[in-house]
Amino acid sequence: MEYGRLAEGTLMVKFGQLQYFWIFGLILVMIGIQLYYNRRRRKGLEQFADRQLLSKLMDGYRPRVQRSKQLLFIGALVFLGIALIGPKVGKKLIEVKRRGIDIILAFDTSLSMNAEDVKPNRLLRAKYETGKFINQLRGDRIGLVAFAGISYLQCPLTLDYSAAKLFLDIIDTGIIGTQGTAFADAIQTALNAFKVKEKKHKVIVLISDGEDQEGNLKETIQRVRDEGVVIYTVGVGSVTGAPIPIANPQSGSLEFKRDRSGHVVTTALEEDVLRDIATQSGGKYYNLRNDGDVFTKIYNEIIKLEQKDIRSHEYSDYQDRYQIFLLIAIVLVTLELSLTDKGKAVKVPSEK
């Protein structure tokens, strides 16, 4: 649901057909060709005869009018190019109110998320599914937190879903140097990102394989309950485990992570802690490997929650203005065609 109040704002211009911007390069080439032609023509005439003789031979020729015709033609091309790229003008600033929920997606970026028991690997699959989740949002604000041994806010709460997806694309297992899975720190960072102190309208979606938990979860969950936040957890991986691919720092080739004894390390999904976090906050736990429709189910749960007014300001009332530039181009072409660079020849009286 959206409704808004219009208020006068700064004049804003945008273009609807920027793919045709190349036409201005073509115009520059035509200007260069015209200048080159004029220069060659002038030099050729100077070699043919001196100026006094040329003025007699070219009686009635008006070079200033010719230059005016060229300028009119080039001006017409410029305005035609502007019309072609579709200028639009927005004259108003609109305050839009949407009904929605504040949602923070918290991504585990520890090395274990590189395991390939979920194709193509745990993190890439989670990113793909959350990208589809963002596409479903309608008026909800979205934010991103990346965590491993520590956490940080990757993207503050925003209604700009395109920007959120750009931040989502750069989330990777190498983004945080400190390894581990600090659930408590990640949840604290997400709670701080909400800012509003209302005890509702807030959701955290925690995405992890559940291994190597760090921090005091008990105190953090108590804060979650106090602030009325609901946490949905998504387990990524298999309970049987899988090796962790890592890049060899010398050769760059992929190898499997090994412990100090040289044995290949396997990582398994630890569901118990994820299930406990969700249950204690009033949310639900989902297994991404067993259910490919996890995020649709989470979204269906979220839209059942009480929603709040989320306000934003957007420039609106954009209107096409290409007609003005097209009209100017037509007028300039008409003027160019109406001018003639040859005057009436002077008649020399004949001798009888």
The per-residue pLDDT for range 263-294, each reduced to its tens digit, is: 888 889 999 999 999 999 999 999 998 777 89
Q: Give the bridge partners for 319, in sequence order.
A: 89
- How confident is the model over 214-221, as a mean pLDDT? 84
Task: Kindly list the distances between the CA atom of residue 67 and the CA atoms of 59, 64, 70, 76, 139, in Å, as whole numbers in the listed order.
Answer: 17, 5, 5, 14, 57
Q: Which CATH class is domain 102-306?
A: alpha beta
Greater confidence, 50 or 256? 256
Residue whose entry in the numeric block shows the structure tokens 């989902």: 286
Burial of 296 (0-12, 13-18, 19+ CB in 10 A): middle
Domain parsing of the chain, residue ranges: 2-90+317-338, 102-306
Residue 10 contacts by C-beta under 8 Å, 6 or more apart in sequence? 93
72-81 pLDDT, tens digit each: 988 998 999 9
Strands 202-208 and 245-247 come out as unpaired
Instruction: Please provide the average confidence, as pLDDT, over all residues in the chain.
Output: 82
Residue 276 CB partners (closer than 8 Å, separation 6+): none
Q: Which of 181, 151, 205 is nearest to 268 (CA)?
A: 181
293-314 pLDDT, tens digit each: 899 999 999 988 877 666 555 5
The pLDDT assigned to 61 comes to 54
Comparing CA positions, the residue from 142, 136, 109, 105 lying closest to residue 124 is 109
* Stated pTM of the model: 0.62
pLDDT at site 4: 40
* CA dihedral angle for residue 52, residue 54, residue 60, residue 64, rounded to 10 degrees: -90
Looking at residue 15, its amino acid is F
Judged against a pLDDT cut of 90, whether residue 234 lies above it is answered with: yes
Structure tokens at 238: 């298999």
**Contact, 194 vs 104, CB < 8 A?**
yes
Is residue 280 within 8 Å of 46, Cβ to Cβ? no
Where residue 11 falls among pLDDT bands split at 50, 70, 90?
Answer: low
